[in-house]
Structure 1
Amino acid sequence: MDSTQRRADAAGNRDRIIQAARAVIANADEVKLNAIAKQAGVGQGTLYRHFPTREALLAEVYREDVDELVAAAPALLAEHAPLTALARWFDRVVEYAQVKREVFAAVEAGVWRDLSAHGLGPIGAALTRLLDAGKAEGTIRPDVDARDVILLIGYLTRLEQDEWDARAGHLLHIVLDGLRRPAA
């Protein structure tokens, strides 16, 4: 096997490990690395070569989710009016926040600070893009900014798992209603 094939195999293993970790985080009460390795179809040695600690793996799941959430904003604006794009972005926030909550519960405080620094900047920028488009269209209140919204949606990390389905989306719709520009 040449070095190009080994790199491709390693990248495939890494991607499978991250996808398996995402699934385990979403569906298990406890995140166990051996379960992730098994679901990814790799040995524990392969998992540890890519992610030497549990925290490193969980941090990478979080970073990828942030990147996907950020990339969704311009794509949604290209397809929808700003208010609809924001509503659909909020739907993705519900999915993201559920994973984030599980990841943050599993990651120690020092790593959490690093993850927050990575997440708030790009997420704030994506949110600003959505809000600015709505303001320009006249559908979003002119007096709100990304930090306002981030503070408001921070409640998602405090929801209990058994109330997630009933409350997460509903509460984001209430936030969305509050962001709408009142009719003149």
Structure 2
Amino acid sequence: MGTETVKARRKPRADSIRNRELLLEAAAHVFSAGGPQASLDAVARQAGVGIGTLYRHFPTREDLFEAVYRHEVDHLGELAEELARDPDPVEALRKWLHANVRLVATKKGMIEAFQLVAHGSTELKAYSFERLTNAIGLLLHRGVAEGKLRADIAPEDLLRTLVGIFYSQGTADWQPTALRLVDIFVDGLRKR
């Protein structure tokens, strides 16, 4: 067996995995404060690693943006799985939608970077659309099955509505309005 094959099968070292997670968290923090032009040196410093470590994990700025974007999308998918155990399916859906609004509000500096990365990657768009649609579907279908939510809306429509709420808000204090609109929309989904 050649060295190439052994290296290909070797699991990443624990410190490498930890460094990647530190870099993703630091990048999310730095990009949300400084937007897409935030320094990669600042990301490495925030993570407590050298710039070489950052470039080993993410050879380009776009690679880092994409990884942070996927990380955030995966976090929302995992949150939906947790909330699926909430005793009230309507409240679980509301909590998940609120978490989306809070995420966008706290990551507003990253939105421009995300749009740049997602715009150029149909695979990334497809991945995030599928992951988020599945997350909403998990919560929505549970509410429908329990007779608490209407069955005449698809998860894709709910995701489009959420995105529309994000993009319709132009003021700096848009978050309270977005949360109120989400509440109104979820209330309209209740089965009467």
TM range (shorter): 0.7 to 0.9
How far off its partner does 1:106 sit?
Answer: 4.3
Match of 2:183 in 1: 173
Alignment CA distance shift 1:13-1:101 (3 Å)? same
Q: After the TM superposition, which residues 73-88 of structure 1 pair with which residues of structure 2 at under 5 Å, given as runs?
A: 73-88=80-95
Q: Does 1:26 align with 2:32?
A: yes
Deviations 1:89-140 (A, max 9, x none): 11221134444734424426323x2221111112111211111111122221
- Please report the RMSD computed on the Cα atoms of aligned residues, expressed in angstroms: 2.3
TM-score relative to the length of structure 2: 0.82
Identify which range, 57-66 or 162-171, moves more after superposition. Answer: 162-171
Aligned length: 178
Runs of 4+ in 1 over 4 A off after TM superposition: none
Amino acid at match of 1:15: E
How far off its partner does 1:74 sit?
Answer: 2.6
How far off its partner does 1:88 sit?
Answer: 0.8
Q: Does 1:68 align with 2:75?
A: yes
Q: Does 1:149 align with 2:158?
A: yes
1:16 aligned residue (15, 22, 39): 22
Structure 1: any 5+ residue segments left out of the alignment?
none
1:45 match: secondary structure: helix
Alignment CA distance shift 1:103-1:114 (3 Å)? farther
TM-score relative to the length of structure 1: 0.85
2:114 aligned residue (95, 98, 104): 104
Q: Is the Cα contact below 8 Å between 1:25 and 1:102 reproduced in 2?
A: no
Q: After the TM superposition, which residues 123-162 of structure 1 pair with which residues of structure 2 at under 5 Å, given as runs?
A: 123-155=132-164, 156-157=166-167, 159-160=169-170, 162=172
Q: Is the Cα contact below 8 Å between 1:62 and 1:103 reproduced in 2?
A: no
The whole-number CA distance in structure 1 between the counterparts of 2:183 and 2:113 is 24
